A and B are shown apart, each in its own frame.
Chain A
C-alpha cells in the first residue's frame, strides 16, 4: 500500500499524524465525562498509523513500529484484566472501579483520576493493536511483500503448518531477490519483490 508519490502528501501526513494522535489522546482522556473513550481513541490512532504507512511506505513502518502490534493488543488486554482484578485485592467484586477527585491540584486546578481510565487505556491498546495488525498484514500481502516476517510466521502458526509457498519459495528464490531483501530497502518508491515479478 502506497499513497500518491507526492512531497506535499508526505509532509501533510507527518503533521496530520501528530494531530490525529493528539485528538486520539484527547478523546481517550475525556471519555469518562464527554464523548470519547478508548475504543474511539484507538480507532483514531489506528487510522493515523495507516495514513503514515501510506506516506512512508509499508517497509518503513517496520522502522517506525518496532514491535508486533499484536503485542500491544495483548498488553492492553492484560492491563484491562489487571484493572478488573485490582479490586479483588481489597475484597471487592471483580471490575469494580474506584474514582478520586482532587480539587486543588497545582497547575491543573481540578483533577479526576480513576481506574476506569486504566481500563479504557486497555481497550485503546487492544483496538490499536489488532486494527493496525490486520490492516498491515492485508496491505503487505496485497502490495507484494511477504505478509509476515519469518519470526511472526512462527508465532502465528504451528511450526508444522508452514504455508505451502514457503517450501518452494526457498528453492525458487532467485539470487537478486535474496540480495535485495538482505540489503536495506531502496529509497525509491517501488517494492523490490514487485520489480522482480515484472522482470520474470
Chain B
C-alpha cells in the first residue's frame, strides 16, 4: 500500500470505523469527549495535507478497492485538485468546529457521546463524498451525509422545531438524492461505467444519447439543488438551524450545503457544452442568490439571517458554474474559500453571542463590543468580508465576481443581464445586512436584559472564529498566498487558474463595488431611520409553511384513502384475493393444458408410488380434523380441532422422513397455540361469552364455500401436475451430496440453514428481532380512552372493546 492509499484510509476509513468511539467514551468523559473526537479531524487533515504534499501537481490519482465488481461498484477514490480542496476544507473546518464544540457544549449538555459520534460520522461521509470516484459510491456517501445531518438537526428532539426541521431537511435532501441516483443510473445506462475518471477522460456520448444525457443532467442538478438549498427548495436550511450551533456552523455553512456546489463543479467538464446547462444552473442559482439575500435582510433571528445569506451565497457559487466558459472557470476556489472563512466565523460568533447573552433576536441585542472586544473584532472582519470591503478575501472575491459578470455579458446575452442585475442587488443587500449584523450586536446602547444575564464566554470558544476572521484578513491583504495555494489545485477542464492581486487599477469593477457599498450603507441607514418596522418575512414567502401543509395534506389523503378502500377488513378482502389467485393461477393451468384430456392422461400415466396404509390413515385423520373445524359449534373447539390438524401434519412429516420439519412443526404448533389462547383472552366480550351471533347472508356463505372448494381444487391440481412431471434437476441432490464435504455436517437441513444459506438465516433472525421491536412499540402506543381502560372485560390493560359496543351492553 502506498502513501496515498494510507492517507485516504486514515482520512475516510478511520472516522468511518471509529465514529462510535465518542459514543462509548461519552458517558465517562462528558464534555471532554470533544478532545477524543477532535483526533479524527486532526488526523484526517494531517493525512490529506501529507497526501497533497506528496503528489506532484496537477495530479489525478485513482485508488481502487474491489467491492461489488459484478455491479460495477468499487471502492474507488479520485484524488485531484477539486477533491483535495474540498477534503482539506472539510477536515480543516472539522478541527475548528470540534475544538469550538468542546468549549461550546458545557456540563449542562447531556449527550456528548452521541453528539460527537454523529459529527464524526458526518465528517467521514463528507470526505467520502468528495473523494469518491465511483458514482454509486458517491451517492452512498451523499445520502449518508443527509442521514447524519438528519440526526444532528433533530439532535434536540425534545423540541418540536428540531423535529420539524430535521424532517424537512431529510425529505428534501434525501428526496432530491433519489433524483441524483436516477441520473447516475442513466449515465451508467448510456456509458456503461460508473467511474468518474473514465467518464472525464472519454467524455459523454452526446451524439448518440443526447436525450438521456440531458435528462440525467437535469436529475443530477435537482440532486445538487436540493442538497444546496436552492430555490424553491431553500426553505429547509433556515429550519435546520434548530441544531446546536456547532452543527449549524459545520454542516450548513461550511460543508454539507456545499455538496451541491461540489457536484456542479464535478460534472461541469462533462455537461458544460450542453445548451441547457448555462440557463438551468445560473437561473436557479442567481434567483436563489437574490431571493435569499432579501430574506436575510428581512429576518431577525441571528441564525436565520446567516442561514438565508448562506443560501444566497451558495446560489451564487452554483450560478457561477452555470455562467462559466467551457474552457473552465477561474476563481471558483476563491469564492468557496472566502465563503468558508467568513461564514464559518460568523456562525461561531452567533453561537458565542447566543451562549453569552442568551438572546438570538437581533432586535434585542446591542452594545456587546465593550464586553467582547476580541469577538467584536473578528465579527467586524468577517462581516466586512461578507460585505466585500477592501482588505478581506471578500473584497477579492467580489472584484473577481463583478469582473467576470461584466466579461460574461457578451457570450450569454439575456442571462448575463439577469445575472448582472442579481449580483448588483445582492451585493447591495449584503452590505446592508452585514452592517446590521455587526452594528446591532456590538454597537449602540446595551439593553438591560443583556446586562442582567450576560456571562462571559471562554477564550477557547472565541478562538476559532477569530482564527477564521484573521485568515480572511491575512489572505485578503496578501492575495499572493492564495495564488500559491490555488494554482496547483487547478483541475483540467474545470479551472483555469487566474491571477489575484490587491489592486487592479481604476476599473469599472472598482467603481461598481464602491457605489454598491455606499448604496448598501444607505440601505442600512434607511432601515435605522424607519426603525426596521417593515422587516419580517411575508407569509407568502415562507415556503416551509407550504411544505408542511402539503405533508399534512398527504397524511390526511392517505388516511381517507385507507378508510375508503377498507384495507383494514380482511374478511372483505379475502374473497378478492382468493378469486384473483383462482383466476390467474387456475386460468393459466387451464389455458396451458387446454380442456382436452392431456392433463388427465399425464397425471394418470405418472409413476405414482403405491399407497401406504399409514399415510392414508393420517390423511384421513387430517380430513376429519378439518371437517371438525367446519362443523363444530364453538370456536374454542374449532381452534382445538385446527391444532389437531396441525399436529397430525407432523406425523406426515415423520412418515416422509423429515424429522427436522416434524420437530419444528410440533414446537411451532405449541407456541402458536399459546399465542392464540392468549390473544383470545384479549378479545372483547362477545368472545368471552363464546359465540358470534351474526350470520353472514346466504349468498355470502355460498361464495365463501365456493372459494374454499375452488382453492382446494386448485392446490390439488397443482400438486398433481407438478409431481407427475419428472424433475430434471433436483437442487436437493446437490445439497445432500455436498453437505458432508463442504459443510462437514450430516444434517442437510441444518447445514443449509447455517452454512449454505446462512446469509438468509441471518436476515431472517434480524427480521424477527425488528418485528418484535415494532410489535412492542405498537403495543405501547395502543390508545384507549380512560373509560375503556376501566371497564375492559379482563381488567385494565385488555385491548378493550370499541366504544360503540360498550354503549350497547
| Interface, chain A (partner B; CB < 8 A) | 1, 27, 31-40, 43-44, 46-47, 50, 70, 73-74, 76-77, 80-81, 84, 94-95, 97, 99, 101, 112, 114, 116, 119-120, 122-123, 126-127, 129-131, 133-135, 137-139, 141-148, 153, 156-157, 159-161, 163-165, 168, 172, 193-194, 197, 200
Contact = CB atoms under 8 A, between A and B. Distances in A.
A191 to B, nearest CB: 8
Contacts of B660: 35-37, 40
Interface size class of B (residues with CB under 8 A): 35 or more
Interface stretch (B225-233, B518-526, B696-704, B755-763): B755-763
B167 to A, nearest CB: 14
Interface of B is mostly: helix
Interface stretch (B435-443, B458-466, B744-752): B744-752
A163 B746 CA distance: 51
B797 A146 contact: yes
Interface in B767-782: 768-769, 772-773, 775-777, 779-782
Nearest to B751: A32
A9 B675 CA distance: 21
Contact of A99 (B744, B747, B758): B744
Nearest to A197: B795
Contact of A37 (B750, B758, B789, B798): B750
Contacts of B681: 142-143
A99 to B, nearest CB: 4
Contacts of A38: 754
B747 A31 contact: yes
B542 interface: no
Contacts of A160: 158
Interface string B713-751: 000000000000000000000000000000111110111
B750 A130 contact: no
A36 B747 contact: yes
A81 B781 CA distance: 31
A126 B678 contact: no
B687 interface: no
B758 A84 contact: yes
Given A123-B765, A156-B776, A138 B747 contact: no
A192 B87 CA distance: 64
A135 B795 contact: no
Interface of B: 158, 659-660, 663-664, 667-668, 670-671, 674-675, 678-679, 681-682, 743-747, 749-751, 753-755, 758-759, 761-762, 765-766, 768-769, 772-773, 775-777, 779-786, 789-790, 794-799
A50 B780 contact: no
Contacts of A74: 769
Contacts of B754: 31-32, 37-38, 97, 116, 119-120, 123
A141 B798 contact: yes
Contact of A134 (B775, B781, B798): B775
Contacts of B769: 70, 73-74, 77, 126, 129-130
Contacts of B765: 76-77, 80, 122-123, 126-127
Contacts of B799: 141
A111 B799 CA distance: 52
7 cross-chain pairs, A with B, having the tightest CB-CB distances, nearest first: A144-B795, A43-B667, A99-B744, A32-B745, A35-B659, A142-B681, A157-B780
A34 B748 CA distance: 9
A164 B750 contact: no
A105 B590 CA distance: 63
Contacts of B790: 200
Contact of A34 (B670, B744, B747): B747
A178 B800 CA distance: 23
A138 B772 contact: no
B768 A137 contact: no
Nearest to B788: A165
Given A120-B754, A161-B780, A142 B768 contact: no
B772 A73 contact: yes
Of B670, B794, B795, chain A has the most CB atoms within 10 Å of the CB of: B795
B198 to A, nearest CB: 28
A101 B744 CA distance: 9
A15 B674 CA distance: 20
Of A27, A50, A127, A142, chain B has the most CB atoms within 10 Å of the CB of: A142
A47 B666 CA distance: 11
Contact of A164 (B667, B670, B749, B784): B784
B678 A1 contact: yes
Contacts of B795: 143-144, 193-194, 197
A49 to B, nearest CB: 11
B671 A43 contact: yes
Nearest to B786: A168
A168 B794 CA distance: 19
B784 A165 contact: yes
Contact of B679 (A33, A77, A138): A138
Of B679, B754, B783, chain A has the most CB atoms within 10 Å of the CB of: B754
Contacts of A147: 779-780, 797
Nearest to A40: B663
B766 A77 contact: yes
Contacts of A31: 747, 750, 754
30 contacts: A31-B754, A37-B747, A37-B754, A39-B664, A43-B670, A46-B671, A47-B671, A70-B769, A70-B776, A73-B772, A80-B762, A99-B743, A101-B744, A114-B744, A116-B743, A120-B754, A137-B779, A141-B779, A143-B681, A144-B794, A144-B796, A144-B798, A147-B779, A156-B776, A156-B777, A157-B781, A160-B158, A164-B783, A164-B786, A165-B789
Of A77, A120, A141, A197, chain B has the most CB atoms within 10 Å of the CB of: A141
Contacts of B670: 43, 47
A168 to B, nearest CB: 5
Nearest to B794: A142
A131 B678 contact: no
A77 B749 CA distance: 21
